[in-house]
Amino acid sequence: MPSRLRPVASVAAEAVLVGDPGRALLLAQELLQAPKMSNHARGLWGYWGETADGRELTVQSTGMGGPSAALVLADLAKLGVRRAIRVGTCAALEPTRRVGELVDVVEAHAWGGLGGGEGEPTLPDRALAAALRRELGVSARPATIASLDTLHGEHPDPAQLRAEAADMQTAALLGHGAALGVALAAVLIVTEDAAGRRAGDDLVEEAAKRAGKAAAAALGS
């Protein structure tokens, strides 16, 4: 039995994973017909329902940071999830990335704070990543992600991270997904550019809907 999640409704074999519980609700309403809350334990809101074409889908929040995401994924694997796509957010490290842009994750590596250094690279599931890339089309650009466990100021200069953007969960999800037998891919929304300018809520919401629709379609392909 799972240790963190306490499902009160079905959990589908395919899932869209988001960090923010509020964004989980947003995408559940956008992607599912009559969504039902499947988890509210620990504030990790999760939803189950059917897509417009009749496929079962779970939308589950994973909390903040890699450890939280990895624990939630382990519980989802016990509940039967076999394929999942992260729809997350990131901060751009290269100046050509704009707020609201979608990022197609091709590789992620963890960076430990306070001198922890760089972890091994993790890769998305090849077939699922290809399906996601087809659905995203020209609306997303590929990128390598540095997944941080502390704030940016506690890490090396962005140039040393050897990545185009940074987040806090993708490397943990990709790495643990492979170990758990769950196929994982990820698309991220740039919510902060390299100059520190942040996206407004409306822009992030619109981008999340586009990313969520692409993720749901990729899972169904």
pLDDT of residue 68: 93
User: Is 149 a domain residue?
Assistant: yes
Structure confidence by residue, pLDDT tens digits, 55-107: 999 999 999 999 999 999 999 999 999 999 999 999 999 999 999 999 999 99
| SS3 at position 135 | helix
pTM of the model: 0.94
Largest pairwise CA distance in the chain: 49
User: Is 2 a domain residue?
Assistant: no
Structure confidence by residue, pLDDT tens digits, 130-171: 999 999 999 899 999 999 887 655 555 666 778 999 999 999
User: Is 127 a domain residue?
Assistant: yes
Cα-based distances in Å from 184 to 47, 54, 174, 206: 19, 22, 6, 23
DSSP annotation of 215: H
User: Is 5 a domain residue?
Assistant: no
Mean pLDDT, the chain, as a whole number? 91
User: Is 7 a domain residue?
Assistant: no
Q: Which two tokens stand for residue 38?
A: 């499947």
Structure confidence by residue, pLDDT tens digits, 2-54: 778 888 878 999 999 999 999 999 999 999 999 999 988 888 999 999 999 99
CATH number of residue 26's parent domain? 3.40.50.1580
Dihedrals φ, ψ of 68, to 5°?
-65, -45
User: Is 1 a domain residue?
Assistant: no
Range of 162's domain?
A: 14-219
Structure confidence by residue, pLDDT tens digits, 173-217: 999 999 999 999 999 999 999 999 999 999 999 999 999 999 999
What whole-number distance in Å separates Cα of residue 76 and Cα of residue 16? Answer: 11
Angle, in degrees to the nearest 10, between helices 170-180 and 66-78: 30
